[in-house]
Structure 1
Amino acid sequence: MHIVPGLRVLYFGTPVVLISSRNEDGSANLAPMSSAWWLGQSGMLGLGNSGQTTANLRRERECVLNLPSSTMVGAVDRIALTTGKRDVPEHKLAQGYRYEPEKFALAGLTEQPSELVRAPRVAQCPIQLECRVVSVLPMAEPTPDCTAFQVEVLRAHVDESLVIPGTHHVDPLGWDPLIMKFCEFFGGGRNLHPSRLADGWQLPHRLPALSTPKPR
């Protein structure tokens, strides 16, 4: 039997992406998100309008989509409730967000120069996609509070251990992406790590108790 529960969010399960972009002063911003999909050499990103990343993508028209593996869940969670926007919006303050200008350092991640865009890559991510913004579309009518960015992948960097020898294909068995399902972290089909984001969004999850892993 199906019911109609009136779902608050529709995060059924998508890969986590660490979007790196450039702030107006040239410094780097890093933001985790999980509303992305790809087709061919194009990608679609869904972002809230109050974030620093949205402002950066509108202004700079480029970014890097860094795809963390499931083993990087600790680094992602450390910056889950942070924003690069100095004036934190009220609704984010209520969810527990705080301003953090040094997100790479807080996450314990390393900036790596890109080749075709000015935004840096995340050195620890096994897949890094340098992108340019192609189009910008408002979402959530009648009062748009989100933006859909269409991006073109200009260059894909993949850890050689994930490439099937003699081909241009990623080994689907070797690649274990970090997945977010309803604000909780999953990898290999299992819940990996307590989620600050789930707490901030006050989602009533019935998950087994997890011991917090050591920082990675």
Structure 2
Amino acid sequence: MSCDTPSAGTAPGATPVPTGHMAVQPSSLYVASPVMLLATLNPDGTPNLAPASSYWALGSMACLGLEDGGQTYENLQSRPEITINFPSPQLLSAVGRLAGTTGRNPVPAAKAAHHRYVHDKFGEAGLTPEASELVDPPRVAECMVQMEAAVRHDRRGVGAYHIVEVEVLRVWAAPQIVADDGTNIASDTWQPCLDVFRRFYGVDSATEYRLH
């Protein structure tokens, strides 16, 4: 029985078969992960805001990958509530202003080469905090999709990170992207930002902001 690889172009519209694959070592395994802005509360009650891309969801639960030494994870130890905000492509510049900043003071040694301390993250990004209803951390007013969530499980990963499982308590959406049924999001009216191997993509353009 023959198992020969079909040749490219044997039928109209056929997808070319790649040949000669190479072993590579990309700096990230984010094939197409949503870009998020995570809001938590600092010990003094002010909000911290951090860009992130490690996310997946099942049912009402979402899993976040958070690094050791980050202010987001530290805040969740004492106040296990968070908002997950999904920026549109038009907010990529705001996301970029947060890249290379940290809410930790002093800056951890592992971040010292690439990060600087910023206390007012909302001000740094030029974004607006919006009061949440079920959790204390604010939402990001400019983000068309926002989630209020509470931590349910926290597991240490293999490396220097934690897998934090949160229960989404409420989802908010801008009226212009809500479907006619008033419940679902009309996905053809809005596009998230995607992190594809550390390159942030919007709908029509790509902007490079590296998240160290």
TM-score category by the smaller chain?
Answer: 0.7 to 0.9
Q: Distance in 1 between matches of 2:127 and 2:61?
A: 26
Q: Distance in 1 between matches of 2:170 and 2:184?
A: 14
How many Å apart are 1:57 and its aligned residue?
Answer: 1.4
SS in 2 for 1:3: coil
SS in 1 for 2:122: helix
Q: Distance in 2 between matches of 1:111 and 1:8?
A: 32
1:133 correspondence with 2:154 = no
How many Å apart are 1:98 and its aligned residue?
Answer: 0.2
How many Å apart are 1:172 and its aligned residue?
Answer: 1.2
The letter for the 2-side match of 1:161 is Q
> Pick from 43, 55, 66: which aligns with 1:36?
55
Q: Distance in 2 between matches of 1:9 and 1:73?
A: 19
1:194 correspondence with 2:205 = no
Listed as ranges, the matches of 1:48-197 within 5 Å are 48-94=67-113, 96-140=114-158, 144-188=159-203, 190-195=204-209, 197=210
How many Å apart are 1:72 and its aligned residue?
Answer: 0.5
Partner of 1:45: 64
Q: Distance in 1 between matches of 2:27 and 2:206?
A: 23
List 4+ stretches of structure 1 deviating above 3 A: none
TM-score w.r.t. the length of structure 2 is 0.87
SS in 1 for 2:24: coil
Aligned length: 193
How many Å apart are 1:6 and its aligned residue?
Answer: 3.2
How many Å apart are 1:8 and its aligned residue?
Answer: 3.5
Q: Which one has a bigger Cα radius of gyration? A: 2
How many Å apart are 1:51 and its aligned residue?
Answer: 0.2
For structure 2, list consecutive stretches of 5 or more residues without a partner in the other structure. 1-19
Q: Distance in 1 between matches of 2:207 and 2:58?
A: 30
How many Å apart are 1:167 and its aligned residue?
Answer: 4.1
SS in 2 for 1:71: helix
SS in 1 for 2:26: coil
The letter for the 2-side match of 1:88 is V
Is residue 26–residue 197 contact of structure 2 (8 Å, CA) maintained in 1?
Answer: no
For structure 1, list consecutive stretches of 5 or more residues without a partner in the other structure. 202-216
TM-score w.r.t. the length of structure 1 is 0.85
How many Å apart are 1:166 and its aligned residue?
Answer: 2.3
The letter for the 2-side match of 1:127 is V
The letter for the 1-side match of 2:146 is Q
Q: Distance in 1 between matches of 2:26 and 2:96?
A: 24
Is residue 40–residue 83 contact of structure 2 (8 Å, CA) maintained in 1?
Answer: yes
